[in-house]
Amino acid sequence: MIKADCVFCQKTAIVLENDLAKAFWDNHPVRKGHLLIVPKQHYATYFDVPATTRAAMDDLTFHAKQLLDEKFAPAGYNIGINVEAAAGQTVMHAHIHLIPRYVGDVKDPRGGIRKMIPRAVQQLRNKRK
């Protein structure tokens, strides 16, 4: 099912896709090249996605990494999935964040995504002003 009121269901600016999943640029990227990988059908959270569709999302994540390697040559990646509002999910359509990382994008990258969040939140606040 595709929901008429779901921004991810309606997304048409597709970067990559396969039969069951699609990838597009994040509207509020944490880093250059930040992609979202989503199922084409609407499922609220990652844990609602059937196994065959999760496999298609995983396959597309690998293709997306290859694209980002060629386009931006990042030094690393973070992969993230937020499930439910308490965990930070703001769009209730299952999605995977594929976030390229670059040398020097944070002073000390140990701890991974936790080091990016305060800066990302501040960047989002600045964009909204």
Give the pLDDT confidence score for residue 109 in this predicted structure: 80
The reported pTM is 0.86
pLDDT digits (tens, 9 = 90+) for 44-60: 999 999 999 999 999 99
Whether the pLDDT of residue 116 is over 80: the answer is no
Token pair recorded at residue 58: 């995983």
Whether the pLDDT of residue 112 is over 90: the answer is no
Contacts 24+ apart (CB under 8 A), 53-58: 53/20, 53/21, 56/18, 56/19, 56/20, 56/21, 57/20, 57/21, 57/96
